[in-house]
Amino acid sequence: MIDIHTHILPNVDDGADSIDLAIYLLKQEIKEGVTKVIFTPHQTKQTLDKEGLIKKFNEFKELTKDLPLELYLGSEVYYYSGIKEDLDNNKVLTLNDSKYVLIEFSTRVEYNIKDLLYDLSIKGYKPIIAHIERYDYLTYDDYFEISKYALIQVNSKSFFQRSYKKICKFLLKNSLISFVASDCHDKFRDVSFHATKKLIKRKNKELYTKVFESDFDFLNNK
């Protein structure tokens, strides 16, 4: 099982603010049945710093080499004008240096998300939209359109949060979800998959297999 959206890499963003907290979150991943974790620290137009993040990742990976986890590096990049050019110029951390890129949009400023993701897809990238349930300006039709050009990621805890569970139920019913991730940051926004896995397995066994039991080619840099 893979967790593709985490803020575990310590002291780089609003996620883990210490090595001890980062190790605590990794141990939670193990308890929840995760075997592969992608660190996705925030990247913005102003804070790309790809080489710095790679250096910190390698240092932390060495510290945790005895844990039974495979660790990979990516980022959660906040959409901005010029992102295509920065991807082409290798400034953005994609998932394990693949064509897959985890993208976050504003929850306050309305974007034409489906067209923006389409533009990235025709450039050869494979966009993954982070926590799609948070963009309340999207319609049900938008979810179907977005799924044509991008993969959809939902946060695990959102299935049980009043603000998001209706959307999650719709996405689950229509098999539109590609990834369920923790988006963990700290002991409050932590790693929690058990209840969500139980729910999805009961409601949509085929999607359960796709989301929780599949291998993904970006782990092989494809």
Predicted TM-score of the model (pTM): 0.96
Please provide the CATH number assigned to the domain covering 2-220: 3.20.20.140
Yes or no: say if 131 and 152 are a contact pair by the CB < 8 Å rule.
no
Q: DSSP letters along the chain, please?
A: -EE--B--STTSSSS--SHHHHHHHHHHHHHTT--EEEE--EE-SS---HHHHHHHHHHHHHHTTTSS-EEEE--EEEP-TTHHHHHHTT-S--GGGSSEEEEE--SSS---HHHHHHHHHHTT-EEEETTGGG-TT--HHHHHHHHHHSEEEEEGGGGGSTTTHHHHHHHHHTT--SEEE--B-SSSS----HHHHHHHHHH-HHHHHHHHS---GGGGT-
- Residues 170, 140: contact at Cβ < 8 Å? yes
Which amino acid type is present at position 67?
L
62 contact partners, CB below 8 Å, separation of at least 6? none
pLDDT in tens, the chain (222 residues): 999 999 999 999 999 999 999 999 999 999 999 999 999 999 999 999 999 999 999 999 999 999 999 999 999 999 999 999 999 999 999 999 999 999 999 999 999 999 999 999 999 999 999 999 999 999 999 999 999 999 999 999 999 999 999 999 999 999 999 999 999 999 999 999 999 999 999 999 999 999 999 877 777 765
Cα separation of 26 and 67, whole Å?
8
Give the pLDDT confidence score for residue 214 in this predicted structure.
85
**Sign of the four-CA dihedral 183, 131, 128, 168:** positive
Domain segments of the chain: what residues? Answer: 2-220
Pull the structure tokens for residue 36: 């592969």
